[in-house]
Amino acid sequence: MKNKSFSITVFFATVFLISIVAGFNYFFDSYGFFQNNKGLSAAAKAIGQGRIVAGLENYDERIFQKQIYNNFGKIPDCIAIGSSKSMMIQSNMVTCHGKFFNHSVSDASLEDYISITGIYAKDDRLPKKIILGIDPWIFNKNTGRGDWETLKDEYAFMLSQISTRKDNKTYDTKNNYLQLINFDNTIYNIEHLNKGNLIKVVINENIDSSIKRADGSIEYPYKIRFQSDVETKKNAIQYISGKVYNLEDFDQLSNVQLFEDFIVYLQHHNIEVEFFIPPYHPIVYDYISNNHKYHNVLKVEEYLNAFAFHHKIKILGSYNPYKYGLTSKDFTDGMHSKSYVSAIIFKNIPLH
């Protein structure tokens, strides 16, 4: 009887603790899984109104793009969509007859291209020009990325427009509820509660914080902006010391037909399309290009060049940093370049 009584006590104590944690994570929802994050809403409004925001971190970037769109005074004429490697593209780097905005999100997938474009298409307000930052993992079905699913309605709408195929994907709507008992989420909520709201509108970029500009591009905190090359090389070596990010099990080029359907849809709607291929750090590129396991990375660039030529699409950049004379000093880690590298590629500015 004592063992049974002890088990019952432990059971109810566990349930009680889980309930406390779940309740805390629900009501102090810094990430915005369940509650409207007022800080993010205010940041989206500020950016939509042409202001600079600092302190954005650990948030749903996809929903944030939609929030910004809903706060635009003037809808952009030109947009960029890519991963964090494309976030450095600024309005003064691109040729755009009108307003430009960078909608790049971390770990971008083909589904992100489609769903973010869908935000515009659902309102029948497609931009005149779209720059796609294309990382090789766009064509790797084995990345397991599902971040885009917070814009699954926009994705499904666009899929109905660009292809005769049906959306047979199943979406796990319970994923967010797992965050109620996610220990990492609890720690982040506690830290956020202690620090308070770090998101703020600023008048310039000369502060030690992550920056989101009015055109959607970003700038890093000081420790990354002014990082030593010794640290950069260390980061690059670490990048290839284990599984290479999003490039494992890259056994074939997948998603090709959907990608081509999407591009054909854009061109059919008289949208100018440009491809941007962001470079890798020289150490990483050497490793990838000399390792047969990652040979499809090079095949992606070959495919994009051939496709762009056939469809009269301007293509800028290369996974190969040597094509632009880039060295380790022009990067911050194994795959992210410094802000001026995008200017070098887009505006053909001399390197040093």
pLDDT digits (tens, 9 = 90+) for 3-23: 667 566 655 566 666 667 556
Question: pTM for this one?
Answer: 0.84
**Residue scoring higher pLDDT (157 or 196):** 157
Number of domains in the chain: 1
DSSP 100: E
CA gap 102, 133 in Å, rounded: 10
pLDDT of residue 258: 96
Say if 19 falls within a structural domain. Answer: no
DSSP 278: P
Say if 5 falls within a structural domain. Answer: no
User: Which contiguous run of DSSP H or E holds residue 179?
Assistant: none
Which CATH number fits the domain that encloses residue 305? 3.40.50.1110
Residue type, 180: L
Least confident residue range of 92-96, 185-189, 288-292: 185-189
Say if 190 falls within a structural domain. Answer: no
Say if 157 falls within a structural domain. Answer: yes
Say if 306 falls within a structural domain. Answer: yes
- Band (pLDDT 50/70/90 cuts) for residue 256 is very high
Say if 15 falls within a structural domain. Answer: no
Q: Is the pLDDT of residue 271 over 50?
A: yes
Q: Is the pLDDT of residue 139 over 80?
A: yes
Q: What is the 3-state secondary structure (H, E, C) of 229-256?
A: HHHHHHHHHHHCCCCCCCCCCCCCCCCH
pLDDT of residue 57: 81
Per residue in 98-107, is it b (16+ CB within 10 Å) or e — as a string? ebbbbbbbeb
Give just the sign of the alpha carbon dihedral 5, 10, 14, 20: positive
Mean local confidence (pLDDT), 330-346:
95
Q: Write the pLDDT tens digit of every residue in 31-86.
A: 556 555 567 889 999 999 999 999 888 788 999 999 999 999 999 999 999 999 99
pLDDT of residue 196: 45
- Using CA atoms, how far residue 95 sits from 1, 90, 91, 197, 314, in Å, is 78, 10, 8, 36, 12
CA gap 129, 274 in Å, rounded: 8
Say if 186 falls within a structural domain. Answer: no
Say if 126 falls within a structural domain. Answer: yes
Range of the domain at 113: 51-176+195-347
